[in-house]
């Protein structure tokens, strides 16, 4: 028992850290197989069935009864030892730890002491949440987990803990130094916008519960991932004690507080760190036009009337001043001129209704089409003055949503306060608006690139000395529309948000090749015989698949193994681990383990964070397959390359279970050919599916789980013709009518109730 490491389990000292201690100690007890002595479940065939204390032995008891009695108490003492190792001396003094006390009775006594639901426990919990702090971007998992645990505790106490209260505590714990201050302001504004939007909606159209909470937690997680990604490419400076708050990029250094920046935040108007928005001298700031340069320029203009300038210069200055003064504080400006003729070199832009120009002389986004606006406020319309002193009339102001695509990655951007200008030549997006939103515009030779926080998300070419943007405007949902379908019949269609239109795609051999995760041509042709639900015209060959060419390139095969195949299920299980992958999944997985039944060719794949988790994966797989087949695993085979050499507990569990272990020579993969061929097949499918879906490598975890699932539904050369591993293992043909191409865009309708 002393060999079990419990350093990661916090020391139980009070009710404040009891939930965290309980979570960690539960994991240890389950991993050691002693959970049945603590709680367990009532099901006889569950993973941890409740272990009942046996009756005391007497002189008339049989030898096997005495042995069971002794074995049960030995296991219970091990569970007791785990419970008592990580509790403080004060807590230990409150417990009755006599020998006759079982582990379950100690567990119940700890719940009586610390799992309190009285008013004092509620106050302690709220105080802890109010004082919770996010230390750095590495701490986001613990930080959000603390609030999730607290919410469950409030639920157990039957105490209301609203979504807005939880969001307020989460935002309050975000650091207010460095770039975090700006991010904290954005989160506060997001919360305020959500509250105002909910107040305007009817009771039947309110958002789903936890909508705001999910939005805040997801944006916080993404921000922490971004900081971690940026810092991974910078050398870490030497840091001393208590430096966990300074593990940021150089841009995250603390901002000095002074009279022009009392809160120590970054200016949201110009992006500078020497002042905040209220003390910003630039246009849009709280002190616009009051800076030393602006005052000096105004004084120079006032004195220019007494100078000896020519009459032409004075007239030009007067025209410019009158033009700028006519704008006023809220005036709109566009340097585009209103002319009667259209340049011939721009005629191609008129034809394309999606054409959008990036304009450094426009103070607002000008959108040509009315149906591109998600919000439309006619009262906020204002005229736009042009460079030739003309006027471009607008009809309303509102919000548009566009999608930028850069290197295959799409980014959705919301453009607020856009002006509807139906007489505009093309759509004009304002450079000044982008800069005010901390978006950089990098003008290079022949193109412009848009960047946010150093990351590129959009671009466009330069044509005839004009910079175009490659954007897609998203159409807003429409309200109910009445359509006349006959002389006396009109039908009201539901809103666009409640409809999903799909074109009927003919089912061909190529389509099913994509749906099944890019199997070989013989396996695809065998779908009509080996499955139900597949439909295509046989006889046509499979066209050349470029994703398969990219994803399945391999060297020549090794010599064929002469080892005979097994015939009984679970007689031999092949095992192999792949990883670590260069990019972790959104869930933090870096490895996957593959189990293969030699007789049926059925595979089971599980994603792992660490190699040491292979034992937990094995327990799940073994319990599932043995319960399904009613048979026991006899042999396990894996290579000796050291992948499982560090998993001593896993190897000991195999030995204690009477399972024979077969280890092949290290790095001689062809000697463990079956699992290696399956591993190559799975990896090839991953690359082909990601290429087809045009998704980044971070989605390899979802792709590999789907590939393993589809592999069980695909016939193989190791089985009789037309027979799938699924049919051998489960005794029936698989139904594949539910399959679609992995990565296909789909729509889910959520009913109003």
Is residue 715 predicted with pLDDT exceeding 80?
A: yes
Using pLDDT thresholds of 50, 70 and 90, give the confidence band for residue 401. Answer: very high
> What number of other Cβ atoms are within 10 A of residue 466's Cβ?
16
Q: Which pTM does this prediction carry?
A: 0.35
Task: Give me the pLDDT at residue 335, please.
Answer: 52
Task: Give me the pLDDT at residue 106, please.
Answer: 87
Instruction: Round to whole Å and give the CA distance between 205 and 515.
Output: 37
Q: Which range has the worst mean pLDDT, 47-51, 75-79, 87-91, 240-244?
A: 240-244
How confident is the model over 152-178, as a mean pLDDT? 84
* Among 408, 406, 375, 384, residue whose Cα is nearest residue 469: 406
424 versus 597: which is more confidently predicted?
597
Is residue 374 predicted with pLDDT exceeding 70?
A: yes
Model confidence over 195-212: pLDDT tens digits? 888 888 887 778 888 888
Sheet holding 439-444, edge to edge: 439-444, 447-452, 455-463, 466-467
Model confidence over 499-558: pLDDT tens digits? 455 556 678 888 888 888 888 888 888 887 788 888 777 777 888 887 887 777 766 665
Model confidence over 381-396: pLDDT tens digits? 888 887 766 778 898 9
Task: Give me the pLDDT at residue 703, please.
Answer: 92
Q: Which range has the worst mean pLDDT, 115-124, 160-169, 637-646, 715-724?
A: 637-646
Task: Give me the pLDDT at residue 604, please.
Answer: 93
Instruction: Round to whole Å and give the CA distance between 256 and 370.
Output: 46
Encoding tokens for residue 158?
A: 């039957």
Model confidence over 324-371: pLDDT tens digits? 444 444 455 555 544 444 444 444 444 443 468 888 888 889 998 888
Task: Give me the pLDDT at residue 592, please.
Answer: 92
Going by C-beta distance under 8 Å and a sequence separation of 6 or more, which residues neighbour residue 748? none
The β-bridge partners of 396 are 420
Torsion from C-alpha of 414, 420, 422, 426, nearest 10 degrees: -40
Instruction: Round to whole Å and give the CA distance between 316 and 336.
Output: 19
CATH numbers and ranges of domains, the chain: 18-114 (no CATH), 119-232 (no CATH), 332-473 (2.40.70), 509-730 (3.30.420.10)
Model confidence over 451-460: pLDDT tens digits? 998 888 998 8
* Among 343, 432, 341, 418, residue whose Cα is nearest residue 384: 418
| CB 604, CB 576: distance < 8 Å | no
- Residue 656's Cβ-side half-sphere holds a number of Cα atoms within 13 Å equal to 6
DSSP 735: B
Q: Residue 318, SS3? A: helix
Model confidence over 593-619: pLDDT tens digits? 999 999 888 999 999 998 888 888 888
Task: Give me the pLDDT at residue 700, please.
Answer: 92
Instruction: Round to whole Å and give the CA distance between 739 and 501.
Output: 19
Structural element, H or E, at residue 495: none
Model confidence over 262-281: pLDDT tens digits? 766 777 777 777 787 777 88
Is residue 246 predicted with pLDDT exceeding 70?
A: no
How confident is the model over 304-319, as a mean pLDDT? 40
Is residue 238 predicted with pLDDT exceeding 50?
A: no
Structural element, H or E, at residue 43: none
Instruction: Round to whole Å and give the CA distance between 613 and 573.
Output: 18
Model confidence over 5-41: pLDDT tens digits? 787 888 887 776 777 888 888 888 888 888 888 887 7
Task: Give me the pLDDT at residue 74, please.
Answer: 87
Task: Give me the pLDDT at residue 605, please.
Answer: 93
What DSSP string describes 657-721?
Answer: TT-EEEEEPTT-GGGGHHHHHHHHHHHHHHHHHHHHHT--GGGHHHHHHHHHHHHTTS--TTSST
Q: Do β-strands 447-452 and 455-463 pair in parallel, antiparallel, or remain unpaired?
A: antiparallel
Task: Give me the pLDDT at residue 251, please.
Answer: 43
Task: Give me the pLDDT at residue 65, please.
Answer: 84
Task: Give me the pLDDT at residue 315, please.
Answer: 35
Instruction: Round to whole Å and give the CA distance between 182 and 248.
Output: 15
Task: Give me the pLDDT at residue 312, please.
Answer: 35
Model confidence over 553-600: pLDDT tens digits? 766 665 665 567 788 898 999 888 888 888 889 888 999 999 999 988
Output the CA torsion sign for 14, 20, 21, 26. positive
Task: Give me the pLDDT at residue 607, please.
Answer: 93
DSSP 259: T
- Helix then strand then coil, % of the chain, to nearest 5: 40, 15, 45
Using pLDDT thresholds of 50, 70 and 90, give the confidence band for residue 78. Answer: confident
Using pLDDT thresholds of 50, 70 and 90, give the confidence band for residue 415. Answer: very high
The β-bridge partners of 597 are 573
Structural element, H or E, at residue 49: none
The percent of residues in the chain predicted with pLDDT above 90, rounded, is 10
* Among 618, 514, 525, 633, residue whose Cα is nearest residue 576: 618
Q: Which range has the worst mean pLDDT, 104-113, 127-136, 271-280?
A: 271-280
Strands (E), 470-527: 471-473, 481-486, 489-493
Is residue 497 predicted with pLDDT exceeding 50?
A: no
How confident is the model over 131-160, as a mean pLDDT? 84
Model confidence over 612-664: pLDDT tens digits? 888 888 889 999 999 998 999 999 888 775 566 556 777 788 888 888 888 87
**Whether residue 580 has a cis bond before it, omega within 30° of 0:** yes
Task: Give me the pLDDT at residue 670, please.
Answer: 59
Q: Name the residue with tokens 């250094």.
A: 253
Going by C-beta distance under 8 Å and a sequence separation of 6 or more, which residues neighbour residue 231? 137, 247, 248, 249
* Among 422, 358, 426, 371, residue whose Cα is nearest residue 392: 422
Is residue 417 predicted with pLDDT exceeding 80?
A: yes
Task: Give me the pLDDT at residue 606, please.
Answer: 93
Q: Residue 352, SS3? A: coil
Task: Give me the pLDDT at residue 668, please.
Answer: 61
| CB 604, CB 668: distance < 8 Å | no
Using pLDDT thresholds of 50, 70 and 90, give the confidence band for residue 177. Answer: confident
């Amino acid at each position: 028992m002393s060999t079990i490491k419990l350093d990661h389990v916090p020391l139980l000292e009070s009710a404040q850290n009891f939930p965290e201690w309980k979570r960690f100690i539960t994991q240890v007890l389950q991993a050691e197989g002693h959970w049945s002595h603590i709680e367990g479940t009532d099901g006889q065939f569950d993973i941890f069935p409740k272990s009942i204390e046996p009756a005391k032995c007497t002189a008339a008891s049989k030898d096997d009864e005495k042995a069971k009695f002794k074995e049960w108490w030995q296991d219970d003492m091990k569970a007791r030892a785990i419970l008592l190792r990580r509790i403080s001396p004060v807590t230990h003094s409150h417990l009755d730890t006599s020998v006759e006390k079982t582990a379950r009775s100690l567990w119940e006594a700890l719940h009586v002491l610390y799992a309190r639901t009285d008013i004092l426990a509620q106050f302690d919990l709220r105080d802890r949440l109010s004082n919770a702090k996010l230390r750095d971007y590495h701490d986001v998992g613990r930080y959000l987990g603390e609030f999730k645990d607290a919410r469950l505790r409030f639920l157990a106490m039957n105490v209301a803990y609203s979504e807005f209260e939880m969001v307020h505590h989460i935002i309050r714990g975000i650091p207010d130094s460095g770039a975090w201050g700006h991010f904290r302001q954005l989160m506060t504004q997001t919360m305020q916008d959500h509250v105002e939007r909910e107040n305007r909606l009817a009771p039947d159209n309110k958002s789903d519960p936890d909508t705001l909470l999910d939005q805040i937690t997801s944006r916080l997680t993404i921000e922490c991932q971004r900081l971690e990604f940026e810092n991974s490419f910078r050398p870490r400076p030497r840091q001393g004690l208590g430096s966990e708050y300074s593990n940021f990029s150089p841009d995250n250094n603390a901002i000095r507080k002074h009279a022009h920046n009392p809160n120590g935040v970054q200016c949201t108007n110009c992006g500078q760190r020497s002042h905040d928005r209220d003390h910003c001298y630039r246009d849009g700031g709280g002190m616009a036009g009051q800076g030393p340069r602006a005052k000096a320029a105004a004084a120079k203009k006032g004195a220019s009337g007494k100078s000896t300038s020519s009459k032409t210069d004075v007239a030009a200055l007067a025209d410019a001043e009158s033009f700028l003064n006519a704008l006023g504080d809220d005036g709109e400006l566009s340097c585009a001129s209103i002319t009667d003729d259209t340049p011939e070199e721009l005629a191609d832009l008129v034809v394309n209704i999606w054409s959008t120009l990036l304009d450094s002389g426009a103070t607002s986004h000008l959108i040509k089409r009315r149906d591109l606006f998600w919000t439309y406020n006619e009262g906020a319309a204002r005229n736009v003055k042009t460079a030739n002193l003309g006027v471009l009339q607008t009809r309303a102001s509102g919000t548009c949503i566009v999608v930028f695509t850069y290197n295959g990655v799409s980014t959705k951007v919301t453009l607020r306060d856009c002006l509807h200008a139906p007489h505009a030549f093309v759509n004009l997006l304002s450079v000044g608006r982008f800069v005010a939103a901390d978006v950089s515009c990098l003008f290079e030779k022949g193109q412009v690139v848009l960047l946010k926080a150093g990351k590129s998300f959009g671009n466009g070419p330069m044509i005839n000395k004009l910079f175009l943007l490659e954007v897609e405007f998203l159409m807003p949902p429409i309200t109910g529309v009445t359509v006349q379908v006959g002389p006396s019949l009109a039908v009201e269609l539901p809103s666009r948000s409640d409809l999903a239109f799909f074109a009927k795609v003919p089912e061909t051999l190529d389509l099913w090749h994509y749906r099944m995760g890019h199997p070989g041509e013989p396996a695809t042709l065998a779908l009509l015989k080996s499955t139900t639900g597949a439909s295509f015209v046989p006889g046509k060959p499979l066209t050349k698949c470029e994703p398969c060419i990219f994803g399945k390139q391999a060297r020549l095969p090794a010599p064929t193994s002469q080892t005979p195949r097994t015939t009984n299920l679970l007689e031999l299980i092949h095992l192999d681990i792949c990883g670590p992958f260069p990019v972790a999944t959104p869930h933090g997985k870096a490895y996957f383990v593959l189990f293969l039944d030699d007789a049926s060719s059925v595979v089971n794949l599980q994603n792992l964070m660490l190699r040491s988790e292979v034992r937990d994966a094995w327990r799940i797989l073994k319990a599932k397959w043995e319960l399904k087949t009613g048979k026991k695993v006899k042999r396990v085979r894996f290579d000796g390359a050291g992948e499982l050499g560090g998993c001593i507990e896993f190897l000991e569990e195999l030995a204690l279970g009477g399972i024979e272990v077969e280890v092949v020579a290290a790095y001689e993969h062809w000697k463990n050919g079956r699992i290696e061929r399956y591993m190559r097949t799975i990896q090839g499918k991953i690359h082909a599916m990601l290429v087809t879906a045009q998704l980044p490598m971070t989605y390899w975890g979802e792709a590999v789980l789907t590939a393993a699932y589809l592999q069980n539904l695909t016939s193989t050369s190791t089985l009789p013709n037309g027979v799938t591993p699924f049919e051998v293992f489960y005794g029936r043909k698989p139904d594949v009518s539910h399959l679609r191409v992995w990565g296909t865009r789909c729509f889910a309708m959520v009913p109003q109730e």
